[in-house]
Structure 1
Amino acid sequence: MSWMAWTWPTAAFFAVIALLLVTFSILAIRFPETPRRGILRIETTRGDRLFITLLGSAFINLIWLGLGLGPQYWALVVCLVYAAAVFRFV
């Protein structure tokens, strides 16, 4: 895998994504959920909200980098607040 130029941040990113997928799969098996309607007025499950969170976080990070708003770890803080809002209100 040396051709992929793995770095610690890259490996950590993919490990976190894999851990999230495994965790949400286990949650879906152990605690089945019925879809709920949130602020978007569409039915969403945990997995849907996770997807919306990951997609939005990607855009937040790209905008943060593009506009040069400061250190990247502050974008992580914004993403965590965004994730909490999505899981609470969507």
Structure 2
Amino acid sequence: MEWMAWTLPTALFFIVIGLILAGMTVWQTVSPGHQRKGFLPISTTRGDRLFISLLIAGYAHLLLLGLTGWPLWVATLASVTAAIVIMKWG
């Protein structure tokens, strides 16, 4: 792994994403989901909402850091909150 300068935050990010994907796989295997309509303009499954929430959280995090000058922890908390809202009610 010498080819890439892994830092602890980078490693933790990818470990958490991997754990989320593994957890969703197990959840889907044990309890198959179904499509539902939330506040998003399309019918979505759990996997769809996970993908959308990861994209929105990533872009929101970058925009908040770049445009507002908020501290890292505030932008992270806002991004995670947005992802949770999309997963729950999206």
**Same fold by TM-score greater than 0.5:** yes
**% identical equivalent positions:** 42
Higher strand share: 1
Count of residues in Structure 1 that have an aligned counterpart in Structure 2? 90
| Cα distance per residue 1:29-86 (max 9 Å; x no partner) | 0011111011123111111111111000111111122124221111111012212211
Report the 3-state secondary structure (helix = DSSP H, G, I; strand = E; otherwise coil) of the residue aligned with 1:2.
coil
Relative to the length of structure 2, the TM-score reads: 0.91
Q: Which segments of structure 1 move beyond 6 Å, counting only runs of 4 or more?
A: none
User: What runs of 5+ residues in structure 1 fail to find an aligned partner?
Assistant: none
Q: Does 1:5 align with 2:5?
A: yes
Q: Gapped runs of 5+ residues in structure 2?
A: none
Q: Separation in 2 of the partners of 1:11 and 1:88?
A: 27
Q: Does 1:56 align with 2:56?
A: yes
TM-score with structure 1 setting the length:
0.91
Matched, 1:35 2:52: no
